[in-house]
Structure 1
Amino acid sequence: MKAPTSLLAAGLASVALAGPAIAAETLTVSSWGGPNHGINTIVWPTWKAWIEEATEGRVTLDVVHDMGPPAAQMALVADGVADASWIFHGHMAGRFELTRLPEFPTFEDFTSEIASAAYWRTYETYLAEQGEHRGVDVLAVGVHGPGQIFTADKAESFADFEGQRLRVGGGVMSDLASAMGVTGVALPPTGVYESASQGVIDGAMLTLEGLRSFRVAEVAPYTLTVDGGFYRGSFAIVVNPYFWDRISAEDKAAIEDVSGESLSRLFGYMMDVSDERGVAFAEELGHTFTEATAEDIAMLREVSDGLIDEWADKVSSGELDAREALEFFRDQLGQVDAEAGIVDRVVTTEG
């Protein structure tokens, strides 16, 4: 899938010619994905263009790599080392519980763009006021594509995973791994290739985009799949609230206007594109994809229902009914307009 490109050049050029040059305020973004990851080739370039257009060039965006590991991104932003970043909630065990909501298996295929838009609506309606992201402001939330299981040796059923060491990243995937008799090894996706090539792990629970982005297809040639994925992963794009003190109220409102559901959809769209590229890359290497059996899927449903009940009982409090929030999210999956995406507004630095 080739992402259409909209450079917004005409609009930005007119801004430049409208008056004397004024130094733009810079939103410094910490990014932990590799240079070719879609977060860097699609999300940040597009959001930068949106911000520059919305603020008439008064605010721009600069991406800095390797400011810290994935699990440190929340602290980097909260402490003001970076103005903004993207975080994976599962990397911070015990900090985030409500954000497990979109991670449970749906057993239905939805694009990550639709799921991310539904998640943003759920976040605004139910989760934002619970304050789990204290210390930062949330400008978007998103989910990655269906998480599947990649292995060095072919697996045809869940029984084949028993006793194996699989990479997990926290959240629902870790709970599922335990229920399946798997020894979970906590690793960021950036550590999978090296650990698998050295025999430290037998495989990984990861997304299809990881087959290419993190070179997993080179060390794990087999994938066991479930419709909709074994799990999804929850992310947020966050900003230090003190950044707003450096810009006008007008520019703050303009940035928020090109964030929220639009930025959430953009994040999900990036994940969809990355998944397709991951599958294509793996197929070129002769990768084998095997669907889980009906018996295994029935078992997974039972395990998932139990995890949902446990989670809902734990996080429901006050006016928050977690089961109601989850039902709202799943209803929104069918309400999001798939035709009203952001594809025509995407800027990409990758051919």
Structure 2
Amino acid sequence: MSAALPRVAVVWRGDRRTRDRATAQNNRYHRIFKELAAVGLAPEPAVFDEAFADEVLEQLLETAAALVWVNPLVDGKTREVLDPLLRKAAEAGVFVSAHPDVILKMGVKEVLYLTRQAGWGVDTRVYRTAAQFRDAAVPSLRGGGPRVFKRNRGNAGQGIWRVELLDGPPGNLIVRVLEARSGSRSETVLLNDFLARCDSYFEQGGCIIDQPYQPRLPDGMIRCYMSGGEVVGFGHQFIKALVMPPAGTGPEQPGPRVMHPASAGSFQALRTKMEDEWTPQMMSILDIGGSDLPIIWDADFLYGPRDASGNDTYVLCEINVSSVYAIPDEAPGAIARAVKTRVT
């Protein structure tokens, strides 16, 4: 009699109806289900919502691994209930990717500050209280050019602001702001009003990260997809989220994200940096072991200034860990192979 195949839960957010009707084929992760089965694992849907969290935990405790795709913030819901649940599963011996503690190390904007001395870093600052932010905002904005202020946890551009100081009397300064959220329009507001708008970002130990705006943003963003410490593909998109539209026009629409395999010639310099230098640097700084790296994660890069030889440089924009999707064609197979290695 053959041994049962290791069960692997694929976790995403949904309601009761979605959970009851979920199969390996009727969701966006169907290719991952297929590849997991192909390497000898038994994948199963594990749709999560706070309303039936105990039921999900009971299911996870019967599995060998849980692969989780749940954003930190969507429609007012957070991971406040999910993360303790995943920790309980991990403590019981379930392999969880990405583990909530790893997300708190590398999947938050603070990683930009902690790794600012690595090869992907720039002039990056952190503000841990609203008072500190208020004191530092004007000197930072007067330093030359727009700045980008980022709340520590979020997704889909929420809480990421391009801010440019305009003329105004002392104590009543005016700024032009644009949020990276899709469909946002630029606003001209009093600086004090904008700062007050950000007060909530400091709740529950939150912080704000401050970086210089990258002028080459219109050249696009490169998303470097990783499985553990290995590059498994790239995505190149001409994003417009923080590009100020011409006066009198609406928000500009982003271009499509074009996927490329890990072998794509135009990205080999970035691939080498990520695999041989930057990922090991990040692991050392954040104290993350190789077996703790997420099964799938990505690092978003903007083009920095060209070097003396005219070659591109790259500036880390953010790291995504909580819910990395869509992914390159090669990624589901890499995910499946990595999971099998971890659970066997």
Is the pair's TM-score, using the shorter chain for normalization, greater than 0.5? Answer: no
Rg: which structure is higher? 2
TM-score, scaled relative to structure 2: 0.29
More helix by share: 1
Q: Which has the higher strand share?
A: 2
Where relative contact order (Cα < 8 A, 6+ residues apart) is larger, the structure is 1
TM-score by length of 1: 0.28
